[in-house]
Chains A and B, each alone.
Chain A
């Protein structure tokens, strides 16, 4: 129910914003066109209807699964999103894998070795990952691995090697966030009485960390991971633009530049849907991790 209301709210927001960001006729029509032509095109695009009617038509179509037709390309938006969504998903899955494979172990290590050298190094790595802007990281990676070493392509989607740099640029932020949240969650648990009791009983440090502490600390990281994956899935505007990766993020930039608001609406609605869906899945996962949540 909450998800449905959220989506409805998003339709309202998306529709309103799309009408603010520019008139699609400004791209379509030429400088020489007459004012009559300007108005005629407005009729063709339905821009002459009252705004509330335009909104009603939009919502009804949306409920029927019709995301509309691209104002400029005259192709169904759903098809365009599917094509571009696949590219974003590819990048998201690899970047998310990096987030989990590196972020969780480093977070655990950092918490387990609090105050140690490894903790400092990992925290610095995490702070840098969160502080450095993705576009800068992306350009630096291109400079080192493409221009400097000539190991990897500078940009665009080609073979599997073209996936590496955008994955690193996109993944570092996720890894950093994951490290910090795993570390802080684990530190909370490490201070608890049952951990001290386990140590007093002679349970090995490895078992304490991986069986008792991590399991009890995992709820927050799961939430973070879920939102991170959702944001990656719906396209990273900065990383996709820097690496010319033809995903949903780059599609949004082009749609914005060209005032193709039907595509923009489609991308944002898809993003909202993915977030709502992932929130739901996360709630389900909570109950699997911690049965008390279901009971409550």
Chain B
């Protein structure tokens, strides 16, 4: 066979190549075709791909010709009789999951339930104000508390129209929505609280409802009537449910009364929202919202950098890079996510707070191999376990995690699940946990574990891009006390059945997404044995304090008891707080001037508060 040589001129080389190398000819041909394709796409597709991206400009004849234009913030859009202006009011957001529709109150899973009101499609009675921790009326015009403190009367706003032509919202819809979400088979987030307080609802007249409890609760109002938590009562049209039936209504996305209407919800792919023409409040400035599911964080950022999307979450280590790019910026939003360690296995309740025997799962008992768990029958053992937990807590260099893993976008956490703004209001210096290995070793020595502790730490994933790194750092810090702490990474949903079954007594590092405005005591109440979810802490002391709080209605009194509760947590370290991780949003600053989000939730939303340049 003849070989090609490189001693000839290029022309000779090509001639000989074409003569003797059929394969090379074919290869060259295909390569040229492919490059032409890529080049053609590059030329023709340049900036066009952002059309999915969503920059379809909209021609507005005049700003008074559409409700959206007429009610936009003054100054943003010219409000004069001028020639048509091209206004881009389409906004796109990359998100790792868009969940799926389940449009019946009793069947709303936690994630979808949070999204539908944060996206502005469904509404709650009240909402957290954007930029300040205050509640403002949304579907109501006024409310008053009953004189006995056991209920509220809500005066509904008139003229609120449901999407899809389902008519005006009345007290009947309010009652139906609440009753459906607390029905026997409901999976709604707030059902535990609703049942424990014996909540009932009644229509007084077309625009007035009354909610009654059989015991006072300082948590109920905020949890159910604001948009701050997953338990928020979203108002659905009863007429829609009656017409479509439960199965039909489940998949139907026409309901809601918010500023946005679902145009499309493709699970695992995208959600498209359109401004609702008949909205009862101020029509949103942004008229179309595309929420695109892009799982891979690096791809999300690429989409942001190329302008394919206008906003995306940004992993903390990349925040500085994003901020340094000329057309991009970053901002923190919502409430920081809580990263903490559950020393599981602290099952010390034979019965629930209400006196029901703990059933049905057998809990793991005392095991000296799990030094963070004490023998509930022995005060000495309980104290030793407490010292071990405090030692573990003191062995964690929280500031180092913030600086080196979170890139400074976070803060050390010293109280479990207590997040701003409450944290800042009630903070006491005595709750600070120093990073002090020597003191931690002394405590371990006193507890009978001078050579450190061994254990398995499960790190669950699904809430924060750096949760594995943080969890492994925590394991190493605790390992520095002398023992061997191994780690196992598992998805949150994969781990949860074992949590429900109360079968573990290991260490569990867990992160939550952005916190909510709900009082942390509600989260702590979930440690009550009667709930499905319990991360391994069934201890009466904190639950009893929380129960005491539940009957207080004055903020000052409440904070006094809170202080006692947090003293108790700080002393016992039933849950070991690690850090509060900021949620960072990357924005196309060439396009977006501002996006104010309410402080009430960790979900991205409040699209009606976006303003373009």
Contact = CB atoms under 8 A, between A and B. Distances in A.
Contacts of B250: 74
Interface string A101-120: 11001101100110011100
Interface of A: 21-23, 25-35, 37-38, 40-41, 44, 72-75, 101-102, 105-106, 108-109, 112-113, 116-118, 135, 139, 142-143, 145-147, 149-156, 158-162, 164, 205-206, 209-210, 241-244, 246, 250-251, 253-254, 256-259
B604 interface: no
A257 B102 CA distance: 17
A44 B4 CA distance: 72
A12 to B, nearest CB: 22
Given A108-B23, A150-B47, A159-B52, 11 more contacts: A22-B496, A38-B500, A74-B250, A109-B24, A113-B1, A147-B302, A151-B39, A155-B296, A206-B22, A246-B269, A257-B97
A158 B494 contact: no
7 contacts: A37-B532, A74-B251, A149-B42, A150-B306, A161-B49, A162-B52, A257-B97
A151 B42 contact: yes
A116 B41 contact: no
B26 A153 contact: no
Contacts of A106: 23, 27
B467 to A, nearest CB: 14
Contacts of B26: 105, 109
A164 B26 CA distance: 21
Nearest to A104: B26
B302 A34 contact: no
B195 to A, nearest CB: 7
Contacts of A244: 292-296, 299
B531 A31 contact: yes
B165 interface: no
Given A34-B532, A106-B27, A244-B299, A258 B493 contact: yes
Contacts of B46: 150-151
Contacts of A28: 109, 187
Size class of the B contact interface (CB-based, 8 Å): 35 or more
B544 interface: no
Nearest to B231: A32
Contacts of A108: 23
Interface in B1-34: 1, 3-4, 21-24, 26-27, 30
B459 interface: no
Given A32-B231, A246-B268, A22 B497 contact: yes
B110 interface: yes
A109 B23 contact: yes
B299 A139 contact: yes
A6 to B, nearest CB: 28
B158 to A, nearest CB: 32
Given A37-B185, A106-B27, A116-B3, A30 B299 contact: no
B299 A152 contact: no
Given A72-B102, A150-B46, A244-B296, A33 B192 contact: yes
Contacts of A29: 187, 532
A35 B532 contact: yes
A37 B184 CA distance: 8
Contact of B110 (A30, A101, A155): A30
A74 B298 CA distance: 32
B4 A254 contact: no
Given A30-B188, A74-B247, A118-B21, A155 B532 contact: no
Contact of A41 (B43, B187, B299): B187
B594 interface: no
A105 B23 contact: yes
Contacts of B189: 30-32
B382 interface: no
Contacts of B123: none
